[in-house]
Chains A and B, each alone.
Chain A
């Protein structure tokens, strides 16, 4: 009973989805380019010295000339960020499942998660650096900041299962395990991925805060240290270049995680599909 009208509707929906994806990619780039152009213009028209405000072109030149140092630092920061994010995802989803399966566990441990979340990481970082080896302390900071959005979102998702679908699983005699795997986790997936997107940026922030607190020099130093170091030396162009790399890293992390979420949700979830109207 598949009619030509149904097929056309399907094609139209998919066409609109592709247009939306294109608009989402192009529009932010155009806006950023315009903002950069305005910045360059302000610096040149006012003839501002680099130690006050370097132009985007000078920042770009510094980025190229200082690339070996900046690249090494970027890798250090990104490694911490991804390790923190991975642990945050595993920990956040695992805890959320535990909380969902046992109210007692939820009541007992959820307050700890909230305490960790509301206490500023800049206050926790120095303590962690006292009690843990530096590498572990930096990782712990990234994890602490990043795991809560995954936990909170996944918990919400696991509790937001369609009641009728729950009834249907009950009607057909589904086991607790089947309900978790076949109903609750897929229902929670959009929430989980949204939490992961937030956690990506937060993990980077956690890593940066911990690096600044650690204040170490040498081969193990991340981009945050480079920013602080450049500030002390009034090397403002490098400071901007490092900051630019951090921002780009944050955007790339967000973009990659959004793409990942889109790939998983594009066939069925509203958040990953083009609007109908």
Chain B
């Protein structure tokens, strides 16, 4: 385990160019530290998701490097996509167990861990349901439970709540915040939403338009977990104003 604040993974001068000539990222520097809830915020196409995929080793940088502290094994990274990305042919329980199942583990301990993960996301009674029988918010909870089941060092979340209605989104934001706090999770979160980023994050990384790089980092020095009351506070409004300003400045600073 990492000491809180110790660097888990670093992106050093990372660049990414695609075969069609698109340059998604340029000289991106980012440290992810244990216990961080860091949000990548920026306009569409600025390479936020590409950066996330690089941390997960789902794509390789064209330039620079992604350096992990210590050895990284399968299961060290949990990934939650914009869509729930569940296997529709498998029950909730089997979906959540997938990361362990792929390692050949199917014992009673696995069942317990799956049950715990489902309990944590509030889906204890739905182990035998199929994804089709669940609402959008519930499917996303299953996806989060699957990411939690390996006790991942880092949880990567790529606009996980973008497709949900505002009420469900608020509820899931609250639950995620409580979960991240109680488990001491390290989270890298991607969103377009200034409000969501301020509510959830301990640190917000504002990115420039494509090719994306870090424009400014802002600390959100408010205690976690934060409640609904925080959303209506003057402090929250002030943070949102500062982040919005940074985002606008990033857009104007674009080459």
Binding site for B on A (CB under 8 A): 1-2, 6, 9-10, 13, 162, 164-165, 167-174, 178, 182-183, 186, 189, 267-270, 273
Chain B interface extent, by class: 20 to 34
**Inside 8 A of A173's CB, which chain B residues have their CB?**
74-75, 102-103
Query: 19 extra interchain contacts, Cβ-Cβ under 8 A, other than A172-B75, A268-B88?
Result: A2-B124, A2-B126, A165-B87, A168-B79, A168-B81, A168-B98, A170-B58, A171-B57, A171-B58, A171-B79, A172-B99, A172-B103, A183-B87, A186-B87, A186-B90, A267-B89, A267-B132, A268-B132, A269-B88
- B 118-138 contacts with A by CB, 8 A: 122-126, 129-133, 135, 138
Bound: A273/B88 CA distance, A: 13
Give the interface centre of A1, A10, A178, A186 by most chain B CB atoms within 10 Å: A1
B24 on interface, CB distance cutoff 8 Å: no
- The SS class assigned to the B binding surface is loop
Bound: A178/B103 CA distance, A: 10
- Smallest CB separation, B199 vs chain A (Å): 21
B8 on interface, CB distance cutoff 8 Å: no
Q: Name B85's contact: one of A2, A162, A178, A268 (CB within 8 Å).
A: A162
**Inside 8 A of B123's CB, which chain A residues have their CB?**
1-2
B83 on interface, CB distance cutoff 8 Å: yes
* A and B contact pairs by CB, cutoff 8 A, 8 listed: A165-B87, A168-B98, A171-B58, A171-B74, A172-B98, A182-B101, A268-B89, A273-B132
Bound: A169/B90 CA distance, A: 15
Task: Please state if B75 and A1 are interface contacts (CB–CB under 8 Å).
Answer: no
Give the interface centre of A164, A169, A172, A182 by most chain B CB atoms within 10 Å: A172
Task: Please state if B126 and A172 are interface contacts (CB–CB under 8 Å).
Answer: no
Task: Please state if B74 and A1 are interface contacts (CB–CB under 8 Å).
Answer: no
Which B residue sits closest to A179, measured CB to CB?
B102
Bound: A212/B206 CA distance, A: 74
- B 205-255 contacts with A by CB, 8 A: none
Give the interface centre of A2, A13, A168, A273 by most chain B CB atoms within 10 Å: A168
Given contacts A167-B58, A269-B88, contact A172 B125 (CB under 8 A): no
Which A residue sits closest to B175, measured CB to CB?
A1
- Smallest CB separation, B248 vs chain A (Å): 32
Q: Name A268's contact: one of B81, B103, B122, B131 (CB within 8 Å).
A: B131
Binding site for A on B (CB under 8 A): 53, 56-58, 74-75, 77, 79, 81, 83, 85, 87-90, 98-99, 101-103, 122-126, 129-133, 135, 138, 150
The 10 closest A-B pairs by CB, nearest first: A173-B74, A1-B122, A2-B125, A164-B85, A268-B88, A172-B99, A186-B89, A164-B81, A172-B102, A268-B89
Bound: A269/B133 CA distance, A: 11
Bound: A2/B124 CA distance, A: 8
Which A residue sits closest to B119, measured CB to CB?
A1
Task: Please state if A1 and B125 are interface contacts (CB–CB under 8 Å).
Answer: yes
- Smallest CB separation, B224 vs chain A (Å): 22
Which B residue sits closest to A170, measured CB to CB?
B58
Bound: A183/B125 CA distance, A: 26
- Smallest CB separation, B98 vs chain A (Å): 7
**Inside 8 A of A169's CB, which chain B residues have their CB?**
102
**Inside 8 A of B58's CB, which chain A residues have their CB?**
167, 170-171
**Inside 8 A of B77's CB, which chain A residues have their CB?**
171
Bound: A172/B78 CA distance, A: 9
Task: Please state if B89 and A189 are interface contacts (CB–CB under 8 Å).
Answer: yes
**Inside 8 A of A1's CB, which chain B residues have their CB?**
122-125
Task: Please state if A164 and B83 are interface contacts (CB–CB under 8 Å).
Answer: yes
**Inside 8 A of A189's CB, which chain B residues have their CB?**
89
Bound: A214/B83 CA distance, A: 56
Which B residue sits closest to A14, measured CB to CB?
B133
Bound: A189/B146 CA distance, A: 24
Which A residue sits closest to B82, measured CB to CB?
A164
**Inside 8 A of A13's CB, which chain B residues have their CB?**
133
**Inside 8 A of B56's CB, which chain A residues have their CB?**
167, 171
**Inside 8 A of B102's CB, which chain A residues have their CB?**
169, 172-174, 178, 182
**Inside 8 A of A164's CB, which chain B residues have their CB?**
81, 83, 85
Bound: A171/B85 CA distance, A: 13
**Inside 8 A of A171's CB, which chain B residues have their CB?**
56-58, 74, 77, 79
**Inside 8 A of B129's CB, which chain A residues have their CB?**
10
Given contacts A173-B74, A174-B102, contact A267 B130 (CB under 8 A): yes
